[in-house]
Every structure is written in C-alpha cells, then in structure tokens.
Amino acid sequence: MVKGIDNIGVAVTDLARSVAFYEQLGFAKGYDYEGDVLGCTMNAGSAVLFLFQTKLAGAQSVQRDPSLAQNPTGLDHISFVVEDVDAIYNALKAKGVVFNGEPADQDWGARLVGLKDPDGNNLYFLKYLE
C-alpha cells in the first residue's frame, strides 16, 4: 500500500543553476549524489525533489503551457502548499523570480500563483481557501 511520495525526480540541464533557483524558492540542498548521475535532493517541509543533470546532448527545456489540457502526456506540474501565496509571491518577486501572473483565487477553491523553473517545468504555490 502506498504511504506517500518519497521524492519527485526532475531532470535538469544545469544542476548548479537549478539548485540556486530552488534555493531561492526556499528549498535547502540535502544530500549530493555522484553515482551514475550527478544530482542532489532539495528539501522544503515534507517536499523532496531529486534534481539530476541529464546526460542527453542538446537537451531542450520542456514546452508546457499553464492551461494544462494543451500539454502532452506525462507529469505536468508540481504544486506546493504554502501558508501565504501573496507573501511568497511578493518575497520571490522582489528577488527577481518571474511568475506567470499574479496570485488569484481559483473557482475550485484555492489561491494560486504559477511560475516555471529554469527548465520550463510548471510550478505552483497554493493555499486552499477556507
């Protein structure tokens, strides 16, 4: 029986650039992995990402649209639950992080703001409305 998610693996084109980006979002670098791939964990609360550098020559960033249904199959996005969407948006925007738009309440019951990581992966910060 599944008890939870241990980590989400994210292939990146530049490990150092991605580590710096996720650190800006509030993740802390965990353990380094230098086996058959170069990678590391990034931790924030119970969220664990495993960033690893692709060996694929000429790897292209993913092309995903925030509209969801226009995207090809596969994992589409990662949503992170936060205490205050507007506070994290304002703090990160002040650091130069670029967002897809401003925080907004969604008709399905959450306040949300989206952005892309350096390789084009869709990320969201959300808080469910009460």
List, for residues 4-46, the tens digit of each pLDDT value. 889 999 999 999 999 999 999 999 999 999 888 899 999 999 9
Which domains does the chain show, CATH number per domain? 1-55 (3.10.180.10), 63-130 (3.10.180.10)
Helix/strand number for the chain, H first, E second: 2, 8
Give the span between the Cα atoms of 39 and 129, in whole angstroms: 36
Answer yes or no: are the C-beta atoms of 103 and 113 closer than 8 Å. yes
- In angstroms, the CA 47 to CA 50 distance is 10
Looking at the DSSP bridge assignments, the partners of residue 34 are 38
User: What pTM was estimated for this model as a whole?
Assistant: 0.88
> Angle at CA 112, nearest 5°, toward 7 and 108?
100
- The token pair that represents 108 in the structure block: 């399905």
pLDDT tens digits for 50-82? 999 988 877 776 777 777 777 777 778 899 999
